[in-house]
Amino acid sequence: MDIEELRTFVEVADAGGVSPAALRLGVSKSIVSRRLVRLEAELGVQLLARTTRGAALTEAGATFRDYAARVCAEIDVARETILPAGELRGRLRVAVPLSFGPTHFAPILAEMARRHPQLQIHTCYSDRFVDLITEGYDCAIRVGYLQDSNLIARRVGPIYGKLVASPDYIRAHGSPETPEELVAHEALMQGTESWQLMDGDKIITVRPQGRFKADNGMALVAAATAGLGIAYLPDCLTHEHIASGALMPVMTRHPPPPAGAYVIRPPGQHPARKIRVLTELLIEYCEPAPHLAGVDR
C-alpha cells in the first residue's frame, strides 16, 4: 500500500473534496483521483462517495481514515528520525497574520527556507481565523490573547500594545481616563472582541462599541489616524504614527497587559520536527526583537 495514496485519501477526507485536497498537496486533481482509485481497488471497498459538492466518506472510509492518518503520522516521525541532523524535507503549510506577518514573520520563514533547501514552505497571509485542521495547515503563527481551544500553543515572543487615538478625535471627544469612560467612546475593532486592561495588578475586561470594524490591523491604523475612534493595536503598527504625532496613547493609567506571539498546531503526540524548528527559530528572532515587541515602550 502506497503511503502517498494514504496521505492523499486523508487529505481528501479532511478537505471534503478532490479539488481542495489537490491544492493542499500541490498536485493536479487527476493525480489525486488516480491515487484514490488505486487505493480503493487495492482495498476492495469504496472509501468516498463522489457528489456534486465534493466527496463524502462512506462508512468504511470514515473508519479507515483514522487508521490511515495514524499511519501517515508515524511514517513522518520515522522519516524525521533517520534524516541527518538538521535536515528537513517535505512541505510546511503555515497560516500567518496579514497585519504584520509579511514584515515581521516573512523574513524568519525565508531564513528557514534558506537553511533547509529541501523543505517546501507554503504560507497563507490572512487576518481571518484559519481552521488549521479543516484547511490542512501544519501550524499557524498567531498574535494576541489565545482563546481556549483544543489546539496546542507555544509562546515565541511578547507583543505589546496600546490604546491610541488621533489628536483630532481627542479634541472633539476627549480622552477617556477610566474603563467606564472608555465604553462611551467610538472603538475601532476587528469584530465583537473584548479588550483587557490593567487596573493595578488586576486585569479587567471591557466590551467597547463602535461602528467601524475591520479584520486587518493596518486598516484600523488608517481609521484611527482619520479620527474615527480609539483603537487597541500592537506597538509595531503604531510607533511611527505616535512618533509623528498622528496618533496619541490614551488610557495610559490602564494599559493592556502584554500579549504574545504563538505557534499553534493541531493536537498530536509528536509535533513534526519542521514545526519544532520553526518554533525555535521564531523564539531566536522574536524574544529579543524590539521591532516585534514594540520599540516605543
Mean of pLDDT over the chain = 87
Regarding predicted confidence, which is higher, 227 or 191? 227
Distances (CA, A) of 52 to 19, 46, 49, 142: 12, 17, 10, 35
User: Out of 2.40.50.140, 1.10.10.10, 3.40.50.12500, 1.10.630.10, which CATH number does the structure's domain 1-82 have?
Assistant: 1.10.10.10
Across 2-31, average pLDDT: 87
Regarding predicted confidence, which is higher, 174 or 285? 174
Residues of the chain with CATH 1.10.10.10: 1-82
Question: Residue 16 is placed in which grid cell?
Answer: 471534503
Regarding predicted confidence, which is higher, 36 or 90? 36
Distances (CA, A) of 187 to 169, 224, 267, 293: 11, 9, 35, 23
**112-160 residue pLDDT tens:** 999 999 888 999 998 888 888 777 788 999 988 777 667 888 999 888 9
**248-275 residue pLDDT tens:** 999 999 999 988 899 999 876 567 888 9
Can you name the CATH fold of 85-159+258-296? Answer: D-Maltodextrin-Binding Protein; domain 2 (3.40.190)
Can you name the CATH fold of 161-249? Answer: D-Maltodextrin-Binding Protein; domain 2 (3.40.190)
> What is residue 192's predicted lDDT score, i.e. its pLDDT?
74
Residues of the chain with CATH 3.40.190.10: 85-159+258-296, 161-249
Question: Residue 25 is placed in which grid cell?
Answer: 498537496
> What is residue 293's predicted lDDT score, i.e. its pLDDT?
47
Paired residues of 157 in beta bridges: 261
- Contact indicator for 119, 88 with CB cutoff of 8 Å: yes
